Amino acid sequence: MPIEIQKDIILKGDCLEILKSFPDNSVDLVFADPPYNMQTEGELLRTDGSSFNGVTDKWDKFEDLHAYDDFSIKWLQECKRVLKKDGAIWVIGSFQNIFRLGYIMQDLGFWILNDVIWSKPNAVPNFGGTRFQNSHETLIWCSKSKNAKYHFNYKTMKHINGDKQMKSVWDIGICIGNERLKDSDGRKIHSTQKPEQLLYNVILSSTEKGDLVLDPFFGTGTTGVIAKRLGRHYIGIEREDAYIEAATKRLNSVQLDLDTDLIDNTYEAKPPRYSIKKLIDLGFLSVGQMLYSKDKKYSAEICPNGNVKVGDFEASIHKASAKFLNRSNNNGWDYFWCEYKGNFVDINSLRYLADKKGGLK
């Protein structure tokens, strides 16, 4: 009998210990924001001489790089073990640790899918003017293994990006304003609380509704908040009471988002399987009918075999639309429009109409 793990909880303790109690192949996604090992020494001063509250926490201290590597290998190994076969992992870090983590991840057999740059328009300046302003962090997205069938909601991400393919550089401000958790004296509760938008992109792109997301370095629970908003489950592991308390309070006030199309991955639904030939046979299109680009600048005539022709050139709707666009390939269903019952409609909608009517015109 597989052991059932409890969902939507925060487990207090060292993730190296706690992860050992998880069964193999039990989580869909890991998001890990581990200690950076910043190696900061002394007080950081702003240009006006005031002190800057950087990452100087005890949880970020390691004896040396070997101790950090040793720790990283252990938690990454455990995360790999608990990930499902087709699961994936996102790890975030800065220049101090991300190269070490990437190297270890490759050695452990994770398969890198992308490295994403979190570009911070409101990054902290380099106060001393001794280096460039460090204005980004890096996320490494990996599947459990090279052949894993990892999850990617390509169309959903395109949709939220104004119908353009989403790139691997994300402009997201650091966590400030109402989102930043503060104590009663107005001090930040956590030095490295991540912006919700970052976790939104991560979880929305690589999970489905109901999936289980594990965060072994939960901090103030940003991962749990977004998982809950998107109808996913979470398990957070965190050592510090103050962070657990802040995360719990935060999670208790979170509701499911209202955009059910995003939550339900509606944009990922495969279109009904109808070919042009099938639409001709069913009477939604006819041989000799003209298909047009949306602006009617280009047109092609439907052939009996479901291809289209322009003069002597005959091809599929995909190849014909690619030729009009001067590209090597294109999706013709998204390109062509036609007259249907007195209206100018995109041919894609005829597939849905045919499907809805069970094939009857």
Compare residues 16 and 113 and give the one whose CB is closer to ligand SAM: 16
229 contacts ligand SAM (rule: CB under 6 A): no
Q: Say if CB 78 and CB 16 are below 8 A apart.
A: yes
Taking alpha carbons only, the member of 301, 290, 306, 296 closest to residue 351 is 306
Q: Say if CB 349 and CB 338 are below 8 A apart.
A: no
By DSSP bridging, strand 83-93 and strand 27-32 are: parallel
Structure tokens, 1: 């009998």
Residue 257, phi then psi, degrees to nearest 5: -60, 160
238 contacts ligand SAM (rule: CB under 6 A): yes
30 contacts ligand SAM (rule: CB under 6 A): no
Residue 205, phi then psi, degrees to nearest 5: -75, -30
The dihedral sign for the CA sequence 217, 221, 227, 228? positive
Radius of gyration of the chain (CA): 26
Compare residues 97 and 330 and give the one whose CB is closer to ligand SAM: 97
Site size toward ligand SAM, by CB under 6 A: 19
Residue 291 zone, left/alpha/beta (φ > 0; ψ -120 to 50; rest): beta
Of the listed pieces 39-47, 239-247, 290-298, 336-344, which binds ligand SAM according to CB under 6 A?
A: 239-247
235 contacts ligand SAM (rule: CB under 6 A): no
**Cα dihedral 167/265/200/31 (nearest 10):** -90
Q: Write the DSSP symbol of residue 182.
A: B
Of the listed pieces 61-69, 120-128, 219-227, 262-270, which binds ligand SAM according to CB under 6 A?
A: 219-227
35 contacts ligand SAM (rule: CB under 6 A): yes
Of 219, 224, 236, 332, the one binding ligand SAM (CB under 6 A) is 219
137 contacts ligand SAM (rule: CB under 6 A): no
151 contacts ligand SAM (rule: CB under 6 A): no
138 contacts ligand SAM (rule: CB under 6 A): no
**Position of tokens 């995109």?**
346
Q: Which residues on neighbouring strands pair with residue 137, listed in sequence order?
A: 118
Compare residues 239 and 278 and give the one whose CB is closer to ligand SAM: 239
Q: How far apart are CA 334 and CA 317, in angstroms?
A: 10
Of 38, 59, 73, 173, the one binding ligand SAM (CB under 6 A) is 59
For the CB of residue 10, give the shortest distance to ligand SAM in the complex, in Å. Answer: 11
250 contacts ligand SAM (rule: CB under 6 A): no
For the CB of residue 361, give the shortest distance to ligand SAM in the complex, in Å. Answer: 54
Q: Say if CB 341 and CB 334 are below 8 A apart.
A: no
Compare residues 59 and 298 and give the one whose CB is closer to ligand SAM: 59
List the x/- string, 167-206, binding to ligand SAM by CB under 6 A: -----------------------x-xxx------------
Q: Write the DSSP symbol of residue 38.
A: -
Please state the separation of Cα 116 from the chain's center in Å. 10
72 contacts ligand SAM (rule: CB under 6 A): no
Site of interaction with ligand SAM (CB under 6 A): 14-16, 33, 35, 59, 190, 192-194, 217, 219-220, 222, 237-240, 243
